[in-house]
Amino acid sequence: MKKGSQPTFEETAGTYIENAQLRRNIGHATKTIRDKRQLVVQELDDWEELREAGRQIKQKVMNNLDRYLLQLEKSVSKAGGVVHWAADAEDANRIITNLIKEKKGTDVVKVKSITTDEIRLNQALENEGIHALETDLAELIVQLAGDEPSHILVPAIHKNRAEIRELFKSKLNLKELSDEPADLAEAARLYLRKNFLKAKVGISGGNFAVAETGTVAVVESEGNGRMCTTLPDTLITVLGIEKIVPEWKDIEVFMQLLPRSSTAERMNPYNTFWTGTTEGDGPQKFHLVLLDNGRTNVLDDETGRQTLHCIRCSACLNVCPVYERTGGHAYHSVYPGPIGAILTPQLRGLDDRSAASLPYASSLCGACYEVCPVKINIPEVLLHLRNKVVLHQKKEGGFRQKTDPVHLAMKFLARAFSKRSRYERLQKMGRAGQWFYKKDGTISKLPGQLSKWTAIRDVKPVPEKTFREWWRDRK
């Protein structure tokens, strides 16, 4: 049995591509952010040196991950925090549920965190009678609509102002509301402020955790992060084990790389750094949940390991020509775009047919690698994973794999290319066999897999003479 009931990328991409509003919204968003990013990156004449330092720091973390985790555990405990270890989503959700139940809480406020989306925390809490309120404006929109995020940075980018107005009117019980973004944001401010003030427990993700000092960082724009990490009496932070940096000094690298790559600002409005608990200031109980959930599988692959360097900036999404056309939902994962195409299959494993389709959701144009602030060679990992998918299919595929047209074609062509006589015979076969399809000097219709090409493109027929035939005749 194949795991996962989600469709593959190619199965649903067409539906999203045809959604005109989605195309326009995503196209506008990605273009705006990538142009702005270009400007703020150009300002720094040491950008490449920062990228290289970022890459080296992350590489050092991955090569010593257990040591840094133990160091972090020690420093957080020393600063008054409690550290929990979660091997998988179930583990993490159980730990968090129990912590909230100890506080007799039924409502918690949450800062936007993809890691908690990954483990489906909200659903797990709901099953236990606990309501987790999303406080990032876009996440609130997505939550109220019962929808899924479509972008790492701006999760509700697929919705327009009219839809959001209708949503707020019905879900927040507002009679009068304009569709001006400022008014919509104000409605969210008033609704959320009440909830911030009464919340006993806050849940956050974390952008960075400093092993040396136990300091955790949340990088944000709206102030909901400050609210959630300051107002409640208990704070629970869920942190992927790869989010560690060794020293406080490393923050100076990532706090230059992240804002410029992410929101395309010199600095985003608010960053909060806290070290355990502080008497009289902010939460008096701090729990840090360290999450594996497949990350050690990624670490286990020497080429794939660099995927864990990701700081979730979303720059790769904004330059990706594939993402720009399909949006995030086509990836059927909380991690969309180029980084999702390499992270998801490694986290979920290749038995998951939806995840295994993602390494192919790229034309390998390389734009993602060019902008990545920590120099993850995404095309390299994509190709590596494609190879793993093929090897996996060969091993598990059985008869279906053996008769798969792509597999057969690849086998046939590899054989043809390995010998000159076979290769030249193939050229002649192509020229002879095309008479059936050739009309008026062009080919407009081909059978089987190739019909996908000729659906919108003509094919130039094989000419009378190959280059090598011309060469031989010429001599």
Partner 1 sequence: MVEGSEMSSSRDKILQRIDQALGNRTDSTDDVVERRYHQISELTAQEKVNLFQERVDEYKAATERVSEGELPGKLKKLCEEAGIKKLVLPPGIDENWLSELPKSMTFLHDEPQPLSKTQLNESDAVLTNCFLGVAQTGTIILNAGPGQGRRVLTLLPDIHICVIRQDQIVGILPEAIRKLDQTVSESGAPVTFISGPSATSDIELDRVEGVHGPRKLHVFIISES
Partner 2 sequence: MNISLFITCFNDTLYPETGKAVVSILERLGHTVHFPLEQTCCGQMHYNTGYHEEINPLVERFADQFESAEAVVSPSASCVGMIHEFYPKLAALSGSKVLQDRIDALIPKVHEFTMFLVNELKVEDVGAYYPHRVTYHSTCHSLRSLKIGDAPLRLLRNVKGIDLVDLPGALECCGFGGTFALKNADTSAAMLGDKIRHIKNTGAEVCTSADNSCLMHIGGALNRQRSGVKTVHMAEILNTTEEGAQV
Residues numbered 97 to 116 that lie near partner 1 (CB under 8 A) are 98
Residue in 17, 40, 44, 267 binding partner 2, rule: CB under 8 A:
17
C-beta of 457: minimal distance to partner 2 in Å?
Answer: 3
* Residue that the structure tokens 């593959």 belong to: 8
Distance CA 163, CA 171 (A): 12
> Which of the residues 419 through 438 are near partner 2 (CB under 8 A)?
419-420, 423, 427, 430
Q: What is the CA radius of gyration of the chain?
A: 26
> Which of the residues 284 through 343 are near partner 2 (CB under 8 A)?
321-322, 325-326
**Comparison of 26 and 330: residue with beta carbon closer to partner 1:** 26
**Considering only 64-72, 163-171, 196-204, 383-391, which stretch makes contact with partner 2 by CB under 8 A?**
383-391
Interface size with partner 2, residues (CB under 8 A): 61
Per rule CB under 8 A, is residue 141 in the interface with partner 1?
Answer: yes
Residue in 169, 189, 285, 386 binding partner 1, rule: CB under 8 A:
189
C-beta of 36: minimal distance to partner 2 in Å?
Answer: 16
Residue in 255, 347, 361, 374 binding partner 1, rule: CB under 8 A:
255
Amino acid identity of residue 190, one-letter, is L
Per rule CB under 8 A, is residue 471 in the interface with partner 2?
Answer: yes
Residue in 365, 397, 401, 434 binding partner 2, rule: CB under 8 A:
365
**Comparison of 144 and 389: residue with beta carbon closer to partner 2:** 389
Distance CA 5, CA 348 (A): 13
Distance CA 96, CA 121 (A): 9
251-262 vs 20-42: helix crossing angle, rounded to 10: 140
Closest to 205 in 3D by CA, of 246, 233, 235, 234: 235
The DSSP bridge partners found for residue 238 are 289
Q: Are 438 and 461 in contact (CB under 8 A)?
A: yes
Per rule CB under 8 A, is residue 466 in the interface with partner 2?
Answer: yes
Distance CA 122, CA 110 (A): 10
Query: Residues 6 or more apart from 286 whose CB is under 8 A from it?
Result: 76, 80, 81, 82, 234, 235, 237, 274, 276, 277
Per rule CB under 8 A, is residue 86 in the interface with partner 1?
Answer: yes
**Comparison of 116 and 262: residue with beta carbon closer to partner 1:** 262
Return the number of other C-beta atoms located less than 10 Å from residue 48's C-beta: 10
Distance CA 283, CA 203 (A): 11
Q: Which two tokens stand for residue 300?
A: 């286990």
> Which of the residues 342 through 401 are near partner 1 (CB under 8 A)?
none
**Considering only 57-65, 105-113, 292-300, 441-449, which stretch makes contact with partner 2 by CB under 8 A?**
441-449
Q: Which two tokens stand for residue 341?
A: 């195409």
Task: Spell out, one character per residue from 397 to 416, where the chain touches partner 2: x when CB under 8 A holds, - when not.
Answer: ---------x---xx-xx-x
Q: How many residues belong to the chain?
A: 475
- Applying CB under 8 A, which residues contact partner 2? 9-10, 13-14, 17, 321-322, 325-326, 359-367, 369-370, 383, 386-391, 406, 410-411, 413-414, 416-420, 423, 427, 430, 442, 444, 449-450, 452-453, 455-460, 462-463, 465-468, 470-472
